[in-house]
Structures are given as structure tokens and as C-alpha cells.
């Protein structure tokens, strides 16, 4: 018999295992579905808290306030610093910073941020990529 508030789980995901007389039984917590009002409250709460979370993350990880972020975004005309054709989606770009000095370099789109994150560690590799591209164009 499963404990109160739990049911026997068939597929084994999100389970709590108990051992009774050498037999392992798998149980899953029973959750009642949310009402429409609870869903709306949860959505509103998330929207309010996500803004606060973003502000705290900018300050903690990059040392800038939301106002400084918006000034930097306006200075870049709402575009990525590396590929100016890419405009910020929902006014958001990634803060690019040097991982050793923590100096902020600018705002980048997702693609450029991933690319720079890989190349930033090994400048010799970046030079080999440039040479490879140049040789291919000849």
C-alpha cells in the first residue's frame, strides 16, 4: 500500500522508493490539478518575480543595474554588438563579460554569445579558423 498522498508509479519517473520485506515498491506523489484562478495567480506571480530575478542576476553576476543595462542597450541601438543586423528579442541580449577580469564588453545575441564563449578561451583556434576561411575563399 502506498503512503498517504502517494500512488503506485508504473513508469518509474519522479518516484519515491520504499523497501518492505525486501521488495522495492515505487510510488509517485498525487497532485491535485490547479484551478483556473490558481493558474492565473501563478502566471502573474511569475511575471512579477521574473523581473526581480533578472534585476538581481544582472547586479550579482555582471555588477550592473537594469538602468545601466538599458543604457548599454540604447547605446547599441537595441542590436547585438557583433552582428548589428540582429535586434534584441523582447529587449533582451546577453551581457558579454571577460570571465577573468569580469569586465563587461557589451550585449550579444544568443548565437554570438555562444560562439564567443567557445572562441574566447583559445585565440590560436580563432586564428586557425580565420586562416581556414581565407584559404577557402582563394
pLDDT digits (tens, 9 = 90+) for 2-54: 566 555 555 555 555 555 554 555 556 566 777 777 777 777 776 677 788 88
The residue with greater pLDDT, 20 or 111, is 111
| Contacts for 113 with CB less than 8 Å, ≥ 6 apart | 94, 96
For the whole prediction, is pTM greater than 0.75?
no
Share of the chain above pLDDT 70, in %: 73
Q: What angle do CA 62, 102, 126 make, to 5 degrees?
A: 115
Q: How many domains does the chain have?
A: 2
54/91 same-domain check: yes
Q: Residue 91 is part of a domain; what is its CATH number?
A: 3.40.1800.10
42/26 same-domain check: no
Average model confidence (pLDDT) across the chain: 77
pLDDT in tens, 59-70: 988 999 999 999
CA-based torsion, 61, 62, 67, 73: positive or negative: negative
Name the helix (H) or strand (E) containing 108.
Answer: strand 104-108
12/42 same-domain check: no
For 112, the grid coordinates are 554570438
pLDDT attached to residue 12: 52
111/133 same-domain check: yes
Would you say residue 130 has pLDDT above 80? yes
The residue with greater pLDDT, 99 or 83, is 83
20/43 same-domain check: no
DSSP, collapsed to helix, strand or coil, labels residue 120 as: coil
26/61 same-domain check: no
Question: Please, are residues 130 and 117 in contact by the beta-carbon 8 Å criterion?
Answer: no
Its domain, for residue 14, covers: 1-31
55/23 same-domain check: no
Which of 56-60, 97-101, 128-132 is predicted with the least confidence, judged by mean pLDDT? 97-101
**Count of C-beta atoms within a 10 Å radius of residue 32:** 6
79/21 same-domain check: no
> Taking residues 69-74, what's their average pLDDT?
91
54/107 same-domain check: yes
85/18 same-domain check: no
Amino acid at each position: 500500500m502506498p503512503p498517504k498522498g502517494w500512488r503506485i508509479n508504473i513508469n518509474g519517473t519522479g518516484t519515491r522508493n520504499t523497501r518492505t520485506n525486501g521488495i522495492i515498491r515505487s510510488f509517485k506523489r498525487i497532485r491535485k490539478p490547479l484551478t483556473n484562478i490558481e493558474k492565473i495567480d501563478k502566471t502573474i506571480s511569475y511575471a512579477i518575480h521574473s523581473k526581480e530575478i533578472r534585476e538581481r542576476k544582472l547586479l550579482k553576476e555582471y555588477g550592473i543595474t537594469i538602468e545601466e543595462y538599458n543604457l548599454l542597450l540604447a547605446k547599441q541601438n537595441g542590436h547585438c554588438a557583433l552582428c548589428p543586423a540582429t535586434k534584441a528579442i523582447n529587449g533582451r541580449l546577453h551581457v558579454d563579460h571577460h570571465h577573468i577580469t569580469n569586465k563587461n564588453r557589451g550585449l550579444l545575441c544568443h548565437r554570438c554569445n555562444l560562439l564567443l564563449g567557445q572562441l574566447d578561451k583559445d585565440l590560436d583556434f580563432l586564428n586557425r579558423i580565420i586562416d581556414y576561411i581565407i584559404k577557402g575563399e582563394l
